[in-house]
Amino acid sequence: MPTPLLRHALTALSVASIALLLASCGGGSGSNGTSDFPPNTPNVAATPTSMLAAHSCISSTPYTVTLLNSEQLPNATIERLVCTFAETYPKIMALLSNADAPKSVVFDFQANYPNPAANTNFNTITFQTAWLKAHPLDSDIVIHEAAHVVQAGRGQVPSWLLEGSAHVVLNRYGVSSDETSWPLPVRYDGQPYTDGYGPAAAFLKWVDAVYRQGQPGLVEAIYKSANTKLYQDGLWVELTGKTVDTLWSEYRNQPIATPFRSGVSVFMTANFKGYSVYLERGRYDLADLLSRAVPDNEIASIQVPAGYKVTAYAGVGFTGDKVELTADAPVLAPPMTRAMSSLVVE
């Protein structure tokens, strides 16, 4: 990547830090396992090593990113983080229904920062430099944290839903290479949804697949509702017709089909990398795919052996946009990339 241009901010500013409640990973929680968000209050911090990111990807937007202690990392790593933020932040604001999210965000890079790899406090995202040095291509980490910036001030939700929602956002808008992605569990793996993060996100996406087809996803609907009322568990019944406990029981106990050992291979990442599942000749509606641990709207590449044909559909019940394949497809062109809910293998 080109060397980013950085221009120095004020060289001597006092440090003003407003630390009320943490709004993200490792953050504070209420007495009932909920995370309480006060209104967005700028957490402005500046030091002699403070810089304003001046990459073209951010300078052409209404947002600003202040970099603290960024000299610890290669310029290319910083640029990936800044440009991923610039690309995804407006999408996150729209998805989480918060047009008033901060337009100025601080990236603070700390050499001795303990786990987790990153944390968000209002509009300040603190990154562990050891993690970024070990994973220099992982710019997707900023998407999860940017979601927390947008979530601040959205009322009170359970902490598991806070983290699970941020991981759904990361899963939807992730832009890093396959090697640095944060994959979700493909089905129940023994971890409860109350653990948040991947287990909660996988559960939320399953509910969307089974109960929200053709409608805005749960995360979008829940945060839109937060504009007018506080979160309550009854919202699940309103959005799906069932309680969260009933949905969780269904998710945990969904049928598991005997896996095939040959046939077409469907991959959840491009270029035939990462997790994959064999599918032999047959018709696979959404329920069939889920029973074979193929999540909805996740297929990104397909290997088609000689003599096979695949017809993939965007909708359940073999409806909507479709693509026919008789040869390998390392990258699926829009609108079919990670947008398949049923397919036929011949």
Q: Using one digit for the tens of pLDDT, what is the confidence trace for 247-270? A: 999 999 999 999 999 999 999 888
Does the domain spanning 264-345 belong to CATH 3.30.110.30? Answer: no
Which residues in 238-259 are b (16+ Cβ under 10 Å) and which e? ebbeeebeebbeebeeeeeeee
Parse the chain into domains and list their residue ranges: 6-180, 193-252, 264-345
* Stated pTM of the model: 0.82
Q: Using one digit for the tens of pLDDT, what is the confidence trace for 105-154? A: 999 999 988 878 999 999 999 999 999 999 988 999 999 999 999 998 66
Query: Higher-confidence residue: 225 or 36?
Result: 225
Angle, alpha carbons 176-57-51 (nearest 5°): 100
The tokens 């944060």 sit on which residue? 182
Give the whole-angstrom CA distance, residue 223 versus residue 221: 6
